[in-house]
Structure formats: structure tokens, C-alpha cells
Amino acid sequence: MEAHAPPFALEPETVPLLERWRADPEVLGVLLVGSKSRGFQDARSDDDLEVLLTDGAFTRLAPAACHTFMVSGEGPARRVIYDAQLTALTDLVRKAASPFDLDHWPYERARVLFDRQGSVSPAVRDAALMDGAFRSLRLQHGTIEAWTGAHRAVKTFARGFDGAGRMLVARGLRALTRVVFALESRWTPLDHWLERELLTLADPVAAVPDLMQSLATFRPEPLLAALDRLEDGLADEGVARPAGRRELFLELIHALRSGERAIHGL
């Protein structure tokens, strides 16, 4: 969560719903996630909410009852007002140990709207953190996957296989995206917020413009330029420079590290 969170306003229809949840002793907390929590709201934005229940209340819910929403208008005027997922607080606590970005990214700037017992805010904070050992492995695997993907794409385009070349660039782009966010100890965003989130990075070596150019053109050259810009910072993090990346590649694909690959790629 950010110390200086962006301003937001709940939709008028959401306010009485929040008050009903406050009055329910089995609701332990309510979070605002999504675009409004990150300061990205526009005319299409709704209130994305997570309602954190006791274990007992959650287990009584059928899967179809774990989601509630409100929509106004029809056709082109149709608009979602609020969209709420009902889950257990213990599930949020569990996410702190998850290897999946989707279990962490929403909580980096989540807003705690209600915390009955004071246990929700620490759970949100823990879910947003990136463990140092996990971060180190992400940087290694992501760098190697971006590096190999970009170089393979160059050869593949030269052979005239444009579709396969674009696929390799896409793989490298996804890997390098993980790297640039992990360098700032941040999780990779949902795809539809990728460009907005890339622009929020500090990016001291200006690698993001190259990454975004590769994203727009599906060419490997800007991807390789971004890797060059990141080289010193990655070396400071213990990632091999290009001369040592073949050896690192062979280490990462070793059978004894298959568990890592299931999480980090390659």
C-alpha cells in the first residue's frame, strides 16, 4: 500500500452496501482494489471490492454466491457500478506465500475500507510484499528468458518465420516485464493495466520506453536495447552479465531446479 494513496470516491450505490457489511459481524473487512485504488479511474471504472468473511460464513456460501455486482444502463450505456468478490480473510493471509502475481498485485495499493478486528490491514501489507529470495530468482529466470527469447526471435525473423518471431518476442516481453517490476520489488500487473503500470516505475535507466516500443512493434531489437540498459542494475543484483548468461541458462534448466522453473518460467 502506498503512504500517499490517490484520492477516490465510492459510487453512491456502494455506500449503503458497505454499511450493511459493517453491520454484519461475519464480515471482517472490506477492501477497495482495482483502478480506483491505483488512481487509474476513468468513466469506465467501477468499485472493485473484496469482502473478507469469517471461515464459517465463507464455507456456507455456494460459489455463485461469492460474487455480487450492480450494472446500470443497457447497450453502449451499460456500466458496472460495483463488483464485489466475497472470500475469507484466511484466503488473503494465504496469498502472502503464493507465487502468483495475481495473488499480490491487487494489494500493493489496496484501500482498507473497513477492518473489524485490525487483522485485515496487516494481511493486505503482507500480501503486497515480495520476498527477497523469490525476487532474486525472478530476476535470474526473467533475465535469461527475455535474453534467450529476444536472440531467438532475431534468428527466427531472419529465417522468415514472422509469426514464430512475434511469439518469441511476446515471451521475452512478458519475462522482461516481470524483471522491471521485480527490480522495484513490485508484482506484475494484470495485462489490461500493463502500460499504465509501466509508466509508474521509477525506471532510472530508461528501459521502459524500449520495452514499450517492443510491445508496440513486436520487434526484438528494442527488447535487446532494454536488456542492455538494465545490465548494470541486474549485475548489482547478482544476475550474470551477457558473457556469463550461457552458464546461468544451463544452471537454471538443470533438472534439480525444475521446481523453480514451474514458478519462474523457462
Residues 147-169: pLDDT tens digits? 999 999 999 999 999 999 999 99
Number of H helices, E strands in the chain: 12, 5
* CB neighbourhood size of 1 (10 A): 14
- Domain span(s) for CATH 3.30.460.10 in the chain: 14-128
Q: Which fold has domain 132-264?
A: Four Helix Bundle (Hemerythrin (Met), subunit A) (1.20.120)
Cβ contact 79:71 at 8 Å: yes
Q: Give the pLDDT of residue 266.
A: 66
Q: How confident is the model at residue 3 (pLDDT cuts 50, 70, 90)?
A: very low
Is domain 14-128 given the CATH code 3.30.460.10 in the classification? Answer: yes
Output the nine-digit C-alpha cell for 245: 548468461
- Residue 5 has a pLDDT of 60
Say if residues 89 and 120 touch (Cβ distance below 8 Å). Answer: yes
Per-residue pLDDT at 6: 65
**Which amino acid, residue 50?**
E
Looking at the chain, which residues constitute the CATH 1.20.120 domain(s)? Answer: 132-264
Region 242-246: mean pLDDT is 96
User: Which burial class, exposed, middle or buried, applies to 50 when counting CB atoms under 10 A from its CB (0-12, 13-18, 19+)?
Assistant: buried
Is the full-model pTM beyond 0.95? no
Residue 254 φ/ψ region, left for φ over 0, alpha for ψ in the -120 to 50 degree band, beta for the rest:
beta
